Amino acid sequence: MKGIHRAAAAALVLLLAGTAAGCGAEEKREYGLPENLCEVPVNEDVADPVLPPGKALEQQAEPLEPPVSSCRVLVDKRRVLFVSISQIGEFSDPMGEREKQPFRNRKEMKDLPFEGKGAIGDTNAMVAAECDSDVSRYLLVEFTVGESLDGDTVRRREKIDRFAKEYTKAVKEAVSCSA
C-alpha cells in the first residue's frame, strides 16, 4: 500500500513540476532584430510587431530593384513574413475589385503617413503609395504574415497595420521616392 502511495505522490510531483515549468515558460526571441528587413533599413520598433519568438531568423531577399522584388522571412525555418515590393507606373487600388482575392475580411487602412491607399486583412496588407522617382509613380507593397504572429485576430491586424505603414514609409526612403 505504501508503494502505491509513494508512486502516486511521485507521479503527482512530476505532473505539478511539469505544469509549473510550462506556466512561466514564455517563448523568447533569441535572435536580434535586423537593421535591414528585406533589403530595407528599418528601426527595431518597425520589425518588432511582426517577428515572433524563436531561435533563428533567416531572410531570403531579392535585391530591392524595379520592377518587383520579394522577400521571405523565416523564424526557426517557418515562414513568418512575405513581402513583395512593386515599383509601378499606374495606381493599383488595394480596395479595388481586382485586388480583393488575397484578403480575408478586407478593410481600408486609415491614417496613412503618406499619400496613397491601403487595405488590411486578417493576415495581410497591401499599400499603394505615391512615388515620384525616375523609376516609378507608385509603390505597391504587399505583406503576408503567419497566423502564428498572434492568435488574437484583432491584435494581429493592429500589428500588421502598424508594420505596413512604417515599413512602406521606409521603402519609400530606400527607393528615393519624393512623394
- pLDDT (0 to 100) of residue 27: 77
- pLDDT (0 to 100) of residue 7: 38
CA distances from 59 to 29, 45, 77, 145, 170 (A): 16, 18, 10, 14, 17
Other residues' Cβ atoms within 10 Å of the Cβ of residue 120: 24
- pLDDT (0 to 100) of residue 147: 66
Task: State the Cα torsion 153-61-128-158 to the nearest 10°.
Answer: 20
Q: What is the pTM of this model?
A: 0.80
What is the residue-level pLDDT of the chain in tens, covering all 179 positions? 544 444 333 333 333 333 333 443 467 889 999 999 999 999 888 888 889 999 999 999 998 888 999 999 999 999 999 999 999 999 999 988 888 777 888 999 999 999 999 999 998 999 999 998 888 899 999 999 876 666 778 888 898 999 999 999 999 999 988 75
- pLDDT (0 to 100) of residue 169: 94
- pLDDT (0 to 100) of residue 81: 93
The secondary structure of residue 145, as a DSSP letter, is E
